[in-house]
Structure 1
Amino acid sequence: MLFDTHTHMDAVQFEEDREQAMQRALDAGVSKILNIGFNRETIPTTMKLAEQYEEVYAAVGWHPQDAVTMREGDLEWIEELCSHPKVVAIGEIGLDYYWDTSPKDVQQRVFREQIRLARKLNKPIVIHNRDAHHDVVTILREERAEEVGGVMHCYSGSWEIAKQCLDMNFYISFGGPVTFKNAKQPKEVLAQVPLDRLLVETDAPYLTPHPHRGKRNETGYVTLVAEAAAQIKGISYEELARITMQNGCKLFGIS
């Protein structure tokens, strides 16, 4: 049984066949799913999905690309939702210096505020980091994020950065790119991440794994990520599935 620790099955890309896509995931052996609500539009749809499906849990937070849209009262909204039994993390939060949609200073302020909220509520955090490795690690350290830990979602950085994140009580999660032939760095980092800190995900509908690359991703394809990860680690698929399920449940406090 697999845990897809990061997906967006509430996305508009699934409007035509969401129920069928969810059933395909269950049929593939995916028994736990963390869906991510990351702005004003996707937080309610994520909550709806978590209440509809027993297998789905929710993370709620404000994405760095949307940081500029965060208004007074939104942080309190996230705090209120964190009392829901299916909300197991705050995220995805972090920094994104690739897309020029929110000023860096705004992203950093919103990131810090949400880490502080996570520490107040004792919730793990789900980190989005694109082209901002140094600043992400610096802010995590300055805001004492190791007190709650979390996951570096769809990790794409170096082993040096990964080591710093591991030292701060974070798990490292890998998605579709580890199945790509030319993805040298993610594979090298995955090989070095301790098994007890490893997670797998899809980030559906994005980052579709081989051999479906170029098409819409869905949470059932986490099996392809797990197969690649097992091969890189030199263990069986079943063992990889068992370990990553155990890790995900431990991190997110799921029995």
Structure 2
Amino acid sequence: MSKGYETGHHGDRPAAPDRLPLAVVDNHTHLDIARDGGPLPDVRQVIDEAVAVGVDRMVQIGCDLDGARFTAKVVDEHPELLGGVAIHPNEAPRLHDAGRLQEAWDEIEQIASHPRIRVIGETGLDYFRTGPEGVAAQQDSFRWHIDLAKRSGKALQIHDRDSHEDVLRILSEEGAPDQTVLHCFSGDIEMARECIQRGYFLSFAGTVTFKNARSLRNALSITPLEQVLVETDAPYLTPSPHRGATNAPYLVPLTVRAMAGVLNVDVPSLCRAISDNSERVFGPW
């Protein structure tokens, strides 16, 4: 979910960008989340609008129990969707304090057995919204999700906010799954080098297009094509020039074209890499 970069008017509805030359995957979106108390998105409309601009596959991420149940339902109804489920790091301390964390893990594990749920995530650490009193529960939950991803043979998607060192340390201690994705990558060039060396995938959201995100573009610039993914994190993190508006998968082409410029590759080559990488991580749709 959003890392807090928002500005602007959330009710704006950006026009559809030009269609991409080759189809890509939005590997992290939240179709169960509405902005500012508004209505939930119409899932079929969201998919159709994305497909029209070359975003023909999406990964719906449910990061609490309600979201996980929603995800299991929509991936059965829409062949363009695969799913991911987890207890978000900001949820883990609340559930722990209520004595319900193990119960929540048990349900996540059951939902994750669905064959179209291909991701355990988003899990990880968030030291921005949760204070020191929640760190232990977050780290325990992160370790549990890493274990589930390995036991189930599914990809791991990681939320990392203000917690780079501990995320990398725990992945090293536990042993990362074969397919590990840093969702909405927010580290600097040194963290990118470490993740690349370990074989992780770096997923870039609309934040990479923001004027003040030079360090993020530097990180992208050294990322090999075979380790690059793209996402929206919708309804948050809308790419420029629509920063602050409600995001949706149909806006992925804006981020892809900006990424191609940073990587100094042509757009079709980047599209092909994103598509191939996505199917390596998540399997065929």
Range of TM-score over shorter length: over 0.9
Residue 223 (structure 1) shift: 0.8
- Alpha-carbon distance in structure 2 between the residues aligned to 1:119 and 1:19: 32
SS of the aligned residue for 2:284 comes to coil
2:232 alignment partner in structure 1: 202
| Farther-moved stretch of structure 1 (129-138 vs 169-178) | 169-178
SS of the aligned residue for 2:121 comes to strand
Unaligned runs of 5+ in 1: none
The total of aligned residue pairs comes to: 254
Matched, 1:247 2:277: yes
Q: Which amino acid aligns with 1:120?
A: R
- Native 8 Å contact 1:175 1:201 kept in 2: yes
2:243 alignment partner in structure 1: 213
Give the one of 31, 36, 61 matched to 1:9.
31
1:120-131 to structure 2, matched below 5 A, reads 120-131=151-162
| Farther-moved stretch of structure 1 (10-19 vs 43-52) | 10-19
Map Cα deviations across residues 7-44 of structure 1 (whole Å, 9 max, x no partner): 10221345254432322111111111011011112111
1:190 alignment partner in structure 2: 220
Residue 205 (structure 1) shift: 0.3
SS of the aligned residue for 2:72 comes to helix
User: Relative to structure 1, is the Cα distance of residues 122 and 17 closer, same or farther in structure 2, using a 3 angstrom cutoff?
Assistant: closer
Matched, 1:53 2:78: yes
Q: Where do 4+ consecutive residues of structure 1 move more than 6 Å?
A: none
- Native 8 Å contact 2:237 2:247 kept in 1: yes
Residue 64 (structure 1) shift: 0.3
1:66 alignment partner in structure 2: 91
1:103 alignment partner in structure 2: 134
1:143 alignment partner in structure 2: 174
1:116 alignment partner in structure 2: 147
SS of the aligned residue for 1:151 comes to strand
SS of the aligned residue for 1:103 comes to helix
- Alpha-carbon distance in structure 2 between the residues aligned to 1:16 and 1:73: 29
| Farther-moved stretch of structure 1 (26-35 vs 135-144) | 26-35
Q: Which amino acid aligns with 1:83?
A: S
- Alpha-carbon distance in structure 2 between the residues aligned to 1:238 and 1:55: 21
1:83 alignment partner in structure 2: 113
SS of the aligned residue for 1:73 comes to helix
- Relative contact order, higher structure (CA 8 A, sep 6+): 2
2:163 alignment partner in structure 1: 132
Q: Which amino acid aligns with 1:24?
A: E
- Native 8 Å contact 1:60 1:78 kept in 2: yes
* TM-score, scaled relative to structure 2: 0.85
| Farther-moved stretch of structure 1 (160-169 vs 14-23) | 14-23
- Native 8 Å contact 1:118 1:148 kept in 2: no
Task: Report the identity percentage.
Answer: 38
